[in-house]
A and B are shown apart, each in its own frame.
Chain A
Amino acid sequence: NAGVTQTPKFRILKIGQSMTLQCTQDMNHNYMYWYRQDPGMGLKLIYYSVGAGITDKGEVPNGYNVSRSTTEDFPLRLELAAPSQTSVYFCASSWGSSEQYFGPGTRLTVT
């Protein structure tokens, strides 16, 4: 099992550009999550999904969009990137409310 994979590992965006962060899990987990971690801070939940076709907002959803068309994939879309979106982004998955398995993270810089 590869677990949770995220691409890319690093990305630099210009203000106003758009991009999609990819997340895939091969553990057949029903729940998937997107977090951001700003320097020196804990993780903040952006969006989560309890199954294919179902998504919900977390604590900091503004400026982001998600979709969940399959169990395995949960891409995060950034539209009109802003410097405030500079952060490390983590994807995670779990079976219900059990342990979350995290991907390695994507470091995004918006300049």
Chain B
Amino acid sequence: AQTVTQSQPEMSVQEAETVTLSCTYDTSENNYYLFWYKQPPSRQMILVIRQEAYKQQNATENRFSVNFQKAAKSFSLKISDSQLGDTAMYFCAFMGVDMRFGAGTRLTVKP
């Protein structure tokens, strides 16, 4: 079965600085998708970024980018120029035969 591990339960960063959230996963599948979702206190799940495993190029979305290392089964999220509105829980997720989420990292952006 697939597993997704987020080793940082909590992180904090100063506003305007850069932070990287870690995620590793375990799978025997070759074709899959990886996601980072954000969950603010409102509880709504919001997609941050998506990566297809067959693509070597790392995905980027404005201030958000990933470092996808397929051989190492690593999928970290980098947030540049952190903003107060980035404060939230961040979940790494794997979609293959089924869908698995990590336990989450609580990110606090400090003014």
Interface residues of A, Cβ cutoff 8 Å to B: 33, 35, 40-45, 48, 58-59, 88, 90, 92, 97-100, 102, 104-105
Contact = CB atoms under 8 A, between A and B. Distances in A.
Interface of B: 1, 4, 6, 33, 35, 43-45, 47, 50, 91, 93, 95, 98-104
Contacts of B43: 88, 104-105
A89 B50 CA distance: 23
A88 B43 CA distance: 9
Given A42-B91, A42-B103, A58 B98 contact: yes
Given A97-B33, A97-B95, A99-B50, A42 B45 contact: no
A53 B31 CA distance: 26
A59 B100 contact: yes
A45 B44 contact: no
A22 B45 CA distance: 18
Contacts of A59: 1, 98, 100
Nearest to A107: B43
Contacts of B4: 42
A104 B46 CA distance: 11
